A and B are shown apart, each in its own frame.
Chain A
Amino acid sequence: MEGTRLKLGDLQKIAEHEVDFERAFKHRINVCCSSGCVPFGAFDVLKAFQEAVKEFGVEKECKVARTGCVGTCAVGPAVVIEPGDYLYQNVTPDKVRQIVRDHIVLGLPVKDMLYQNEAFFKKQHRLVLRNAGKIDPTRIQDYIAAGGYAAIVKCLATMTPQGVIYEVLGSGLRGRGGAGFPTGQKWSLVARSHSSPKYIVANLDEGDPGVFANRTLAEADPHAILEGMLIAAYAVGAEKGYIYIRAEYPLAIETLQKAIAQARAMSLLGENVLETSFKFDVELRFGAGAFVAGEETAILASVEGRRAMPRPRPPYPANSGLWGKPTLIQNVETLANIPLIVLNGGAWFSKIGTGKCTGTKCFSLTGKVNNPGIIEVPMGITLHEVVFDVGGGVADNRKFKAVLVGGPSGGCLPETLLELPIDYDSLTRVGAIMGSGGIVVIDDKSCMVDTAKFFTDFCIDESCGKCTPCRAGLAKIKEIFEGITRGEGNLEDLATLEKASIYIRDASLCGLGQTAPNPVITTLRYFKDEYVRHIVDKVCPADRCFKNVKEVNKQ
């Protein structure tokens, strides 16, 4: 099958063939082999299952498959047995024989190895991660059988580029990279641009510490990204696409490389896509450890092989992007939504989430929470639901203190704001951002002054150094923090901190600098008493600061 050049009508046949093939199996054993589970022996577990089904003579009725992430990254390796979606946690090779014997042969699921946590999945709504944990990301046939590439077929066979853009506009989809610019509008801008060639850049430079949702997507369902790029290319008239991916993600890189090769071999990428006159090809470009490269204009510089320094807009990339040509830059999560919008229509999509903020959002839920992992929830869900329902509450029975939304340049929100619905505008209003979707739960063992200092440190390290406010201003903020946590602060420092933070937010050149002071601004706004206690009483409520001072005093 692989390697034959497909025509438009052939995909349906592959899908039917695959479904028939799947039907021959009574059970499907899905072993999560993504970066969260692999370090803990997922590939050994996969091998153990392959051997065990042979040993028990059930290999004809069991399909053992490697899949992507189901989201429960804290209890890996995770294994899902279908039918019934039985999720086994912390599976090791020595447990595999028992699972196969009891569950498959005897029909008795091993209760005490199961992930007993309905709540984690109950409020989730998986659109982007629709195939994650269900299909083998290394087999294009799996994706096709799940309805994949049907959307690009629909576009090529029945829709005009304008028609595609019309659906995307109607869906209300906004960019998932952080800023939330309406996707359809961006596409219209690029489509209207007359210069050629045009380019597409898929942003997979997930540099936020504590965020790994894009990686999960790439490892679990790479073809969804490729199909999204294909549709975007068809709509705006682009011929070449780049996926800019962090070099720190070797498994995701390997998975995408395989997917691109398979898609090329089946003529889903290349000169004549599905034997039509539409042409589009994709190349990977590797990041090299620079958070700022996720910024729209910095990513262009990096793809061109230069220092990832942002440049001012206008000109906007839609008119003048890569090598001065019109360029559409989208986060991979945005792109993975596109096939669904094309298949089901923009109106269908616009009913999910809230009126102004449609669809779902993937989050990396981490920190002091009982169920950390990758989640996908409808827009408009409250922070409380995410932390306490999906997340299962604060870990180790500690007390909730704050939740950081939006990564290192997000905002630290207190308990009183937990009923806030998650959408771009509500978050911005309280000083946080959607960012690329990091939610970190902070308990009473953490100090908010120390936390704000940590994020400032991060932004200092990642600042490109081009503009004065971000380069020099953040460094000054850090010095003030150092004084406060050494016990040398005074109350005037708080006014200086606030003044400098607002200046950096307003005067910086790019999104990094403009959002970098968010943790400082929000902790000053919501946790000012902690600053005051540090300064006046020289007490850190969480006992994290003044440590070096104490050690010096002891000597």
Chain B
Amino acid sequence: MSNSTVTLKIDGVEITVPEGTMILKAATDNGIRIPTLCALEGLSNSGGCRLCLVEIAGSPKLFAACITPVSSGMVVTTNSERLKEYRKMTVQLLLSERTHVCSVCVANDHCELQSLANELGVDHVMFERKWTDYKIDSTHDFLVIDRNRCILCTRCIRVCDEIEGAHTLDLKMRGKDTQVIMDLDNNWGVSCSCTSCRKCAKVCPVGAIYVEEEPLARTKHKEIAEFLLARRRR
């Protein structure tokens, strides 16, 4: 990365960051919070969850902050009424897309989706909720995947591929039928490539992947990707 820096304005605050920095990181590093569920420091960016959408002066379009690099003189708004409205909508869609019942979820109180809903003031869901009934895979010695709680953020897939290097996980199908799979859509217990490293459970923002009989507070450790990557460079 080059040494030159770029100065821009985010929510009226003037910020100077290295060239090539994404808006999300520029904001976060300067104490401005932009919500996200799929972006995670240390992993490649997906741009899929659409929670980090921001406005950039001069364009009618919205930009995902996690994958839009800063440029000189850029004026970014992260919190307009429209953006707040859209973020609520996104959270509502995620909550109604599959089966999310906080009170019976392993991730209750440690769930990024739940805390985001609280933070954004999502007090109802305007859509009919869909109760999915996907089979829970608990064939692995201690890792469990409950796809009913999955929000398809693909953090698990990216950490498995990019940090662990196993690429056990990927997506199958497309659209609303998309699912996280192991190998050839096999049961986790018979996976030929899984190293049982648990990183997928550590970075899962919700209660979709977890370690059996381990308190979630202990499992969750989403900083692991950044931590490992930083040391790998040395």
Residues of A within 8 A of B (CB): 290, 292, 307, 311-312, 314, 460-469, 471-476, 479, 496, 499-500, 503, 506-509
Contacts and interface: CB of A to CB of B under 8 A. Distances in A.
A346 to B, nearest CB: 29
B24 interface: no
B175 A469 contact: no
23 contacts: A290-B174, A307-B171, A312-B64, A314-B68, A463-B174, A463-B175, A463-B176, A465-B176, A465-B177, A465-B178, A466-B48, A467-B47, A468-B51, A468-B94, A469-B89, A471-B152, A472-B94, A474-B176, A476-B96, A496-B126, A499-B89, A500-B89, A507-B50
A460 to B, nearest CB: 6
Given A475-B97, A509-B64, A469 B178 contact: no
Most buried by A among B85, B174, B178: B174
Given A466-B47, A467-B49, 12 more contacts: A462-B174, A462-B175, A465-B152, A468-B90, A468-B94, A473-B93, A474-B176, A496-B127, A500-B89, A507-B50, A508-B50, A509-B50
A460 B175 contact: yes
Contacts of A475: 97, 130, 176
B46 interface: yes
Contact of B127 (A462, A467, A479): A479
Contacts, number: 92
Interface in B103-157: 126-128, 130, 152
Contacts of A311: 47
Give the residue among B49, B69, B127 with the most A Cβ atoms within 10 A.
B127
A473 B176 CA distance: 10
B50 A472 contact: no
B175 A479 contact: no
A465 B93 contact: no
Contact of A314 (B69, B130, B174): B69
B127 A468 contact: no
B74 interface: no
Contacts of A314: 68-69
B27 interface: no
A367 B123 CA distance: 45
Interface in B38-53: 46-51, 53
A310 B6 CA distance: 28
Contacts of A465: 152, 171, 173-178
Contacts of A508: 50
- With a 10 A CB-CB cut-off, give which of A461, A468, A475, A476 has the most chain B CB atoms: A468
Nearest to B91: A468
Nearest to A500: B89
Interface in B75-89: 85-86, 89
B184 interface: no
B67 interface: yes
A59 B69 CA distance: 68
B49 A468 contact: yes
Contacts of A476: 93, 96, 127-128
Given A312-B64, A312-B68, A463-B174, A469 B90 contact: yes
A509 B48 contact: yes
B101 interface: no
Interface in B165-181: 171, 173-178
Nearest to B126: A496
A507 B86 contact: yes
Contacts of A469: 50, 89-90, 93
Contact of A472 (B53, B97, B174): B97
Contacts of A473: 89, 93
B70 to A, nearest CB: 12
B62 interface: yes
Contacts of B68: 312, 314
Contacts of A290: 174
Nearest to B53: A507
Given A468-B93, A476-B93, A461 B86 contact: no
A471 B178 contact: yes
Contacts of A460: 175-176
Contacts of B51: 468
Nearest to B173: A465
Contact of B90 (A312, A479, A496, A507): A507
Q: Which of A290, A311, A467 has the most CB of B within 10 A?
A: A467
Contact of A503 (B46, B89, B97, B175): B89
Nearest to A311: B47
Contacts of B69: 314
B175 A312 contact: no
A324 B105 CA distance: 42
A476 B94 CA distance: 11
Contacts of B49: 467-468
B155 to A, nearest CB: 14
B62 A507 contact: yes
A500 B86 CA distance: 9
B7 to A, nearest CB: 19
Contacts of A509: 47-48, 50, 64
A429 to B, nearest CB: 14
A475 to B, nearest CB: 5
State the 5 A-B residue pairs at the shortest beta-carbon distance, nearest first: A465-B178, A463-B175, A472-B93, A472-B97, A312-B47
A423 B69 CA distance: 33
A471 B126 CA distance: 17
A292 B62 CA distance: 21
B171 A503 contact: no
A356 to B, nearest CB: 19
Contact of B175 (A461, A468, A496, A500): A461
A311 B46 CA distance: 8
A506 B62 contact: yes
Nearest to A473: B93
B129 to A, nearest CB: 10
Nearest to A463: B175
Contacts of B89: 469, 473, 499-500, 503, 507
Interface string B6-49: 00000000000000000000000000000000000000001111
A469 B67 CA distance: 17
A290 B175 CA distance: 11
A508 B97 CA distance: 16
A525 B218 CA distance: 52
Contacts of A474: 176
Nearest to B88: A503
A312 B67 contact: yes
A4 to B, nearest CB: 48
A462 B174 CA distance: 8
A465 B50 CA distance: 12
A500 B125 CA distance: 13
Contacts of B130: 475, 479
B128 A479 contact: yes
Contacts of B46: 466
A472 B50 CA distance: 12
Q: Max chain B CB contacts within 10 Å: which of A312, A499, A507?
A: A507
B228 to A, nearest CB: 24
